[in-house]
Amino acid sequence: MSAGKRAAAPAVEERKVEVGEYKVNVATLGTGPAIVMFHGEEKQPSWKDWEGLLGLADSYRLIIPDLVGFGKSSRPSETPEYKAQARIVHELLEVMKVEKATLAGYSWGGQVALEVAINWPQTVENILLVASTYDKGQLSKLPKVRKPALVIWAEDDLVTQLKAGYLLRDSIRTSRLEVLPPVAKDPKHDFTIAHRLLKSRSDEVATLFRDFLASPSRAIAEPPELEKELKGMALKQETEDA
């Protein structure tokens, strides 16, 4: 299927799943290997932030929760931070009897996906990250995860900068970095790039997901070379500062 022709997605089913003290709203559609998708935390996010990629349901079972504190899920007085969200997600998948799945996350949702992979690697098939944030404490733990991972970035991302993409790629080690062309060339534009990348480049992101999942181990065959890239970026920054 060409990137320009998105197939009509199957009907979405929404339901509330009780997970401990919370009710988690979950959208599901499609059949096949499971992909659990996590939204970010900016601009009133919900599972609908992934609408541009619902065409993946022609080959996969998509499970897209509203994380606790967002969308139609429970709204406690304090929104759980990413570690608590990861525990909730793990329990959610147990309740839904999902034994193993690919995890997809963008922005803060990627940080949640990483935490699930760090703590319950046996439940993770692959990892798909779109402009993912991370906690520095996660980086030293990621090499032990050893799951095929795809890291997607945009060249002009001023929110989660490209350097973070290289750091994630090399911390995970069993990973591949794909850098998309600039999303917005006007520096005066509102740079919520992580969100816009998913919206404006959904066809490209979906194609990268499909290609990677077709053969994850083959896609990460090339070893990372972070050191040279970061040295080059540091030199460029020093020159610009001067």
Report the CATH number at residue 212.
3.40.50.1820
* Alpha helices in the chain, H assignment, sequence order: 82-95, 108-119, 136-139, 162-172, 193-200, 202-214, 216-219, 226-241
Residue 209 forms part of a structural domain: yes
Number of domains in the chain: 1
Q: Across the chain, what does the average pLDDT equal?
A: 85
Predicted confidence (pLDDT) per residue in 205-242, tens digit: 999 999 999 999 888 855 455 445 544 554 555 555 55
Residue 46 forms part of a structural domain: yes
Q: Are 106 and 129 in contact (CB under 8 A)?
A: yes
Q: Say how far apart CA 106 and CA 113 lie, in whole Å.
A: 9
Predicted confidence (pLDDT) per residue in 116-134, tens digit: 999 999 999 999 999 899 9
Structural domain for 227, as ranges: 13-241
Residue 99 forms part of a structural domain: yes
Bridge partners of 106, per DSSP, are 130
Residue 3 forms part of a structural domain: no
pTM of the model as a whole? 0.84
Residue 4 has pLDDT above 50, yes or no: no
pLDDT at 128: 98
Residue 54 forms part of a structural domain: yes
Residue 87 forms part of a structural domain: yes
Residue 1 forms part of a structural domain: no
Stretch 5-11: mean pLDDT, rounded? 60
Residue 7 forms part of a structural domain: no
